[in-house]
Amino acid sequence: MSILNKLNDLFIDSKTDLLVNKRIILRVDYNVPIKNNKVVDPTRIINSLKTINFLIEKNNDIILLTHLGRPKTEEDKLKYTTKTIFNFIKENNLFNCNNFEFIEDINIKIDYKGRNIYLVENVRFFNGETKNDLELAKKFANLGDIFVNDAFGSLHRVHSSVAGISNYLPTYFGLLVKEEILNLSKLLTPKRPYLIILGGAKVSDKLNLIKNLLTKCDKMVITGAACLTLYKSLNFNIGKSFFEETDVSNILNNNLIILPTEFIVVDNIDNPSYKIKKNIKDIGDNDIIVDALINEDIRKAILDSNTIFWNGPSGIFEKGYNEGSIEIAKLLSESNAFKVIGGGDTVNFINSTVEYKNKIDFISTGGGATLEFLEKETLDAIEYILKLKTTI
Ligand code: 3PG
């Protein structure tokens, strides 16, 4: 049975009678980019509003749980406090509720008031969250009556606030999870030819994923710094460019993979005295490759496909090297394929190009979760929760 069928009667819009006048614990994924204690891209917050409005209209209280970043030290607590998100939501008046409060202490009792929203401090500040500690999960559960999981971007994590909490509360899934699964499921039975474009910096943590996805697609473009690791293994000179010392022999020479051949090179990433276009065969010892461009093979693959999934920019786009990504976005806008984009950096990029963004059929809020869903056709936290449902 597909995951969509398994979840069908667990989405909140099929439980309208149950979800009224309750204290709902809503796990969201507000792991948003933050710079100087300000939210830079609120896409994930905006995408949670559908579920929040649905629950508030039914006079529920909402206790929001989320992680932010990967805090390790005490200093990280200043950087990753969810108070930053709380302030952003308040300043922009995003919630249509009676009161919106911030909670640091999870040992308190929250009395039902109706249409109140609370945002709890970063769940990763509490010991045991990432180990799915059930004592912690129970503490989170004590804050409300029902658990709704709408944190699509975190569903590949079996953590206390994502999965363990379901041991203690009736559990349902939100409207964002529904929309994500509905759209991403279309990539599991794609209209062919199906093209996957993978970019970003790293290939080492994606090797298994790439191997697996190669069995599902008809062509794969590997761009970004990830393709430089492949070129390095093929003994090309990539100058002083970033690459990883990792064994890519498993995926090299797969005839479904298309690599870019033209690149933008500089001598200094932050302050270049030259910025030129070069073929991979002409890269000099002092060159640094900062962006991969589109060649005829890639262009043809994009225009010939009926389904396209894109994850990972072609270059160091946060430093302004985005020519290749713009070329991909432009070609996608010309293609009639069903087009899906996933991954934080790619979504940030496409959000900055309104004319191309509107031509994308679905923009996933997930990064790792989206890739894992395409690989495994399910997600670990969903499986954990479904298993509890069948054993309760
Ligand atoms: C993400 O941004 O991909 C999710 O929020 C998960 O974050 P994590 O990789 O730190 O668990």
Write the residue with the smallest CA distance to atom 7 of ligand 1. Answer: 154
d(CA 109, CA 127): 20
pLDDT tens string 253-289: 899 999 999 999 999 999 999 999 999 999 999 999 9
- What is the DSSP secondary structure assignment for residue 101, as one 8-state letter? E
> What's the one-letter identity of residue 343?
G
Q: Which atom of ligand 1 is nearest to the CA of 344?
A: 2
367 CB near ligand 1 (under 6 Å): yes
Q: Which atom of ligand 1 is nearest to the CA of 130?
A: 11
70 ligand 1 Cβ < 6 A = yes
Ligand 1 contacts CB of residue 31 (under 6 A): yes
Tokens at residue 257, please?
């993979």
With contact defined as beta carbons under 8 Å apart, do 118 and 16 qualify? no
**Which one of 27, 41, 67 would you pick to mutate in the ligand 1 pocket, going by the greatest count of ligand atoms within 8 A of its CB?**
67
Q: What confidence score (pLDDT) does residue 3 get?
A: 93
Q: Which two tokens stand for residue 260?
A: 């870019």
What is the model's pTM? 0.94
Burial class (CB in 10 A: 0-12, 13-18, 19+), 252: exposed
Q: Which of the listed CATH numbers 3.40.50.1260, 3.50.50.60, 3.30.70.260, 1.10.10.60 matches domain 189-376?
A: 3.40.50.1260
Same fold flag, 3-179+379-391 and 189-376: yes
Distance CA 143, CA 165 (A): 11
pLDDT tens for each residue of 197-252: 999 888 888 888 999 999 999 999 999 999 999 999 999 999 999 999 999 988 98
Ligand 1 center–CA 103 separation, angstroms: 22
Q: Point out the ligand 1 atom lying closest to the alpha carbon of residue 67.
A: 5
Candidates 102, 96, 60; CA nearest to 81 is: 102
Q: Which of the 8 DSSP states describes residue 11?
A: B
Q: Where are the domains of the chain?
A: 3-179+379-391, 189-376
- Residue of 190, 195, 224 whose CA lies nearest to 297: 195
DSSP bridge partners of 364 = none
* Ligand 1 centre distance from Cα of residue 205 (Å): 14
23, containing H or E segment = strand 23-27
CB distance 29 to ligand 1 below 6 Å: yes
Report how far ligand 1's centroid is from the alpha carbon of 316 (Å): 20
The residue whose CB lies within 8 Å of the most ligand 1 atoms, and thus the one to mutate among 157, 209, 345, is 157
For the chain, how big is the Rg over CA atoms in Å? 22
3-class secondary structure, 107: coil
Q: Which CATH class is domain 3-179+379-391?
A: alpha beta
Distance CA 245, CA 228 (A): 11
Does residue 157 have its Cβ closer than 6 Å to ligand 1?
Answer: yes
Query: What are the DSSP E strand ranges found in 189-273?
Result: 194-198, 219-222, 257-258, 262-266
Residue with the smallest CA separation from ligand 1 atom 6 is 154
- Taking the centre of ligand 1 as the mean of its atom positions, its distance from the CA of residue 206, in whole angstroms, is 15
368: Cβ below 6 Å to ligand 1? Answer: yes
Q: Is the CB of 311 under 6 A from ligand 1?
A: no
- Burial (CB count within 10 angstroms: exposed 0-12, middle 13-18, buried 19+), residue 83: middle
Which atom of ligand 1 has the smallest separation from the CA of 70?
Answer: 10
Identify the DSSP state of 69: S
Q: Note down pLDDT in tens along the chain; length 392 residues.
A: 899 999 999 999 998 899 999 999 999 999 999 999 999 989 999 999 999 999 999 999 999 999 999 999 999 999 999 999 999 999 999 999 999 999 999 999 999 999 999 999 999 999 999 999 999 999 999 999 999 999 999 999 999 999 999 999 999 999 999 999 999 999 999 999 999 999 988 888 888 899 999 999 999 999 999 999 999 999 999 999 999 999 998 898 899 999 999 999 999 999 999 999 999 999 999 999 999 999 999 999 999 999 999 999 999 988 999 999 999 999 999 999 999 999 878 988 998 899 999 999 999 999 999 999 999 999 999 999 999 987 64
> Where are the strands (E) in 298-365, listed by range?
307-311, 338-342, 362-363
Which of 29, 31, 364 to mutate for ligand 1's pocket (most ligand atoms within 8 Å of CB)?
31
Asked whether 171 lines ligand 1 (CB < 6 A), one says no
